[in-house]
Amino acid sequence: MIKLYDSRLSGNSWKVRILLGNLGIPLKRVTFALPEGKTYLPEFLAKNPQGKIPVVELDNGETLFESNAILMYFATGTPFLPEDKLCRARVAQWMFFEQAEVMLNLAHPRFFIGIKKAKEANIELIKQRWEAGYKSLQIMDDHLAKTKFFVDGKYSIADIALYPYASVAHEGEFDMKHFPNVLAWFERVREQPGYKPLFED
């Protein structure tokens, strides 16, 4: 069985669980409490030298890290990654956007406000991320005004990549009422067969 090394609060790990749920692929979770530092032990560093989650261990013992690379691996040959050359490039475009803009700018406020409870000590960084994060959310909302899903109107790993950190942006005090198209898209993602919530157990 596929093994997923993750943590309960990780949006990047959540992406992988959503896709595997959509595909009906069973997995075994190995869940870390990240402050324990177990991802920096030699046995984990052999799986990912960055010491980060998520990591997937395949049935043959091969390992793969970086969440969007994992999505590409499992989506290949399925409807979640289009065969059309331009559509496939657009999926990659939104996945790059997710890592460079969405995750970067939405995750920090969530971490310092919603998880670490250290808003005042990090307020200058948070303000910077708020400004950039609102721009990212507006780009997403404007795009979703024209389509139900991010690429070719069809649910794909572009949606799965973008969904986790956007869907918990309110935990970083982003006012999501300004983004009605994003909010409606959240519901469409949650309606997909096999969808996995952040907290399953």
Which band of pLDDT confidence, cut at 50, 70 and 90, is reported for residue 36? confident
Please, what is the average pLDDT of the chain? 95
Q: What is the CATH number of the domain that holds 113?
A: 1.20.1050.10
Q: What is the mean pLDDT of residues 105-134?
A: 95
15 and 111 part of one domain: no
Query: The pTM is what?
Result: 0.95
* 76 Rama sector, left if φ>0, alpha if ψ -120 to 50, beta otherwise: beta
Q: Is residue 199 part of a domain?
A: no
Tell me which residue of 26, 67, 74, 25 sits closest to 48, measured CA to CA: 67
Range of the domain at 53: 2-75
pLDDT of 89 reads 98
Q: Is residue 197 part of a domain?
A: no
CA atoms within 13 A of residue 71's CA, in its CB half-sphere: 30
113 and 70 part of one domain: no
172 and 91 part of one domain: yes
- Widest distance between CA atoms in the chain: 48
Q: What is the mean pLDDT of residues 97-114?
A: 95
Q: Is residue 152 part of a domain?
A: yes
Q: What is the mean pLDDT of residues 23-38?
A: 88
Which tokens in the block code for residue 66?
């970086």
Q: Which of 47, 75, 103 is the last residue of a domain?
A: 75
How many domains, in total, are found in the chain? 2
Which band of pLDDT confidence, cut at 50, 70 and 90, is reported for residue 49? very high
Structural contact between residues 175 and 1, judged by C-beta atoms closer than 8 angstroms: no
Higher pLDDT, 201 or 180: 180
Which band of pLDDT confidence, cut at 50, 70 and 90, is reported for residue 88? very high
Per-residue pLDDT for 39 more than 90? no
- CA 10/CA 47 separation, integer angstroms: 18
pLDDT of 201 reads 58
How far CA 136 is from CA of 6, 93, 110, 170, in Å, comes to 26, 14, 15, 14
Q: What is the mean pLDDT of residues 19-37?
A: 90
186 and 104 part of one domain: yes
Q: Is residue 184 part of a domain?
A: yes
State the Rg of the chain over Cα: 17
Q: What is the mean pLDDT of residues 76-81?
A: 98
137 and 176 part of one domain: yes
